[in-house]
Amino acid sequence: MNPRRLHLVNSARRALLQRGVLRRSGALAKANLTPDALKERAKRRVAGEVERGTAATGAGLRKYAMPLSAAAAAGMVFAFRRPLADAIDAVLDLVERKNAKAATTAHPVQTPEQHDEQIGRSETEQP
């Protein structure tokens, strides 16, 4: 085969191969631009970002666990300061009422001599 013809055949073969590659890449690009494919790609990206953020946050939490937990506790107390104050006042009032009721209904404390007098024993009758 003469060199010109050989060159022409090789060029046609290359063109056909390129055409197939182009069609496949076009179909692939078309498939990648569908809404489902875009959504899946976005999910993977977000999941990766969340994973990286979680790892960084976990490292920070382990490094500063004590100050963060103290700050969290202080924040909770500050956020619920009014309800906590009301609840503490209610508990203190309840304790005061219970103590007052117990003081009025409780038996007075007796010494052993008073007890003996109450039941009618003398000092000589003790066992």
Q: Could you give the CA distance from residue 19 to residue 119 in angstroms, rounded to a whole number?
A: 119
At residue 126, the pLDDT reads 55
> For the chain, which residues make up each domain, given as ranges?
65-104
For position 120, what pLDDT does the model report? 74
- Residues in the chain where the model's pLDDT stays below 50: none
What pLDDT, on the 0 to 100 scale, is given for residue 106?
65
18-28: burial string, b at 16+ Cβ within 10 Å, e else? eeeeeeeeeee
CA 2 vs CA 5, 14, 49: distances in Å: 6, 18, 60
The pLDDT assigned to 100 comes to 86
pLDDT at position 1 is 73
